[in-house]
A = this chain, B = another copy of it.
Amino acid sequence: MTSPSRPEPPPDCPLERYLHVVSGAWVPRILWFLRFGPRRFGDLRRDLRGISTKVLTAKLRTLEADRLVSRQELATSPRQVQYALTERGMAFEPVFEAMIRVSHHLAELEEATDPAMDR
């Protein structure tokens, strides 16, 4: 019997909390590149090769609304806008570290089970 007595999905499931803010193709990648410090709009656009300015601004706006990212206009010559992780945004760091460890682990498993053998 595999069905009975499972940990009921709590109404505020940690996974749902996470996925609510980090979803879609770009948001994880944006947070990823902000891990290393503040970044300007154009920097991010180059980091995330392939993203359109439309989507980048849209995603940054939602991240701002969720208070994971702060936006700061620098009073510089051609006008620069700097985006950085807020304290809330930095809280996601453990997830990225876990992803790194998992990726390494997967690579090891691949090596171990010979590139053409399974089951």
Contacts and interface: CB of A to CB of B under 8 A. Distances in A.
B106 A102 contact: no
A15 B96 contact: yes
A39 interface: yes
Question: For the complex formed by this chain, how many copies does it contain in all?
Answer: 2
Interface string A71-113: 0000000000010000110011011111111111111010000
Contacts of A98: 94-95, 97-98
Most chain B CB neighbours (cut-off 10 Å) among A6, A95, A107: A95
A57 B25 CA distance: 22
Contact of A100 (B2, B14, B42): B14
A100 B40 CA distance: 30
A29 B107 CA distance: 23
A79 to B, nearest CB: 14
Given A2-B37, A98-B98, A118-B67, A28 B15 contact: yes
B67 A91 contact: no
A23 B33 CA distance: 18
A90 to B, nearest CB: 10
